[in-house]
Amino acid sequence: MRAGEVYENRVQGDRFLVREGSEDTGGERLVGDLYIRPGGAVAGKHVHSYIAERFEVVAGTVRFHLDGRDEVAAPGQQVEVSPGVVHDWWNVGEDEAHVLVDIRPAERFELMIQNLYGLANDGKANARGLPKLLPLALFAAEFRREGEFVRPPRIVQSLLFRTLAPLARARLQGDLSRIPRPHGKGGSPCERRQRRSRRRLTPNSYASSASGRKMPPVEPPRSADLHAQQSALPLTWACGALNGCGRVARFKPDTRGEP
């Protein structure tokens, strides 16, 4: 994300105007204005394993759920969410709420939000914006550390999503071919930088984006084939989140492995 971009989730009822994004801060920080319609809410209770968030209400009234307790924030009040804290938020006022959001670090969080919004806008989410079962199996596997929903319980999620992941990949793989290419075959400048970075990796550095396991040693794939080989998620969804900026949010695999 970069300054000036606008993202909208038509299911959750919020839009996000970026003040500073990963492209402006080297992936360290995301700052923006979140506008939430009356009754609008995040997809559900969730937790970030290493990401910290700060919310400052500018206008309206927002209720926050933080580790079992609720608090209402009015204009001028701040709420901080540390890594590991289960939280939720929703607009309890009669008017649109305006919240200044500060998130650190930002790069993987941005990818998660772009996909969450895109899934909702493409009709692949329920009324609260939570992805439907098959796309959720892939979403949860890819972004578990960045944002994990607390229901169903973790053990149930692990067993269910591990079972559904192969079916989800088979059913949803076709969406990859429908990603628009406004920058032409070469992709955006960001995509070209990512491909150059990937080519510097050794063959055994390519990780399965769904499981985090290392792939067997093979010859490095051509850059044109890399996305199809590595991506567990059909990220046409990320494109559905970007409002009128003419840029495509593409998947960058997380090769860091498990914590």
Q: How far is CA 244 from CA 5, 100, 101, 124, 239, in A?
A: 8, 22, 22, 21, 10
- The whole model's pTM is what? 0.68
The whole-number pLDDT of residue 241 equals 59
pLDDT-derived band at 202, boundaries 50, 70, 90: very low
Burial category of 242 from C-beta neighbours within 10 Å (exposed 0-12, middle 13-18, buried 19 and up): buried
Token pair 């998660």 in the structure block, residue = 112
Q: How many Å apart are CA 85 and CA 64, to the nearest integer?
A: 12
Q: How many Å apart are CA 25 and CA 106, to the nearest integer?
A: 9
CB atoms within 10 A of CB 226: 17
Q: How many Å apart are CA 23 and CA 130, to the nearest integer?
A: 27
The whole-number pLDDT of residue 185 equals 42
Q: How many Å apart are CA 131 and CA 187, to the nearest integer?
A: 27
Task: Tell me if 250 sits within 8 A of 235, measured CB to CB.
Answer: yes
For residue 128, pLDDT beyond 90: no
Residue length, the chain?
259
Of the ranges 16-25, 48-57, 232-241, which one carries the lowest mean pLDDT score?
A: 232-241
The whole-number pLDDT of residue 218 equals 37
70: closest CA among 93, 47, 86? 86
Percent of the chain with pLDDT over 90: 36
For residue 150, pLDDT beyond 50: yes
99-133 b/e (C-beta count within 10 Å ≥ 16 → b): beebbbbbbbbbbbbbbbbbbbbbebbeeebbbee
Enter the CATH code of domain 6-106.
2.60.120.10
pLDDT in tens, 51-109: 999 999 999 999 999 988 999 999 999 999 999 999 999 999 999 999 999 999 999 99
Extended strands (E) in 182-230: none
DSSP-derived secondary structure letter, 131: B
Q: Is 193 helix (H, G, I), strand (E, B) or coil?
A: helix
Domain ranges of the chain: 6-106, 112-239
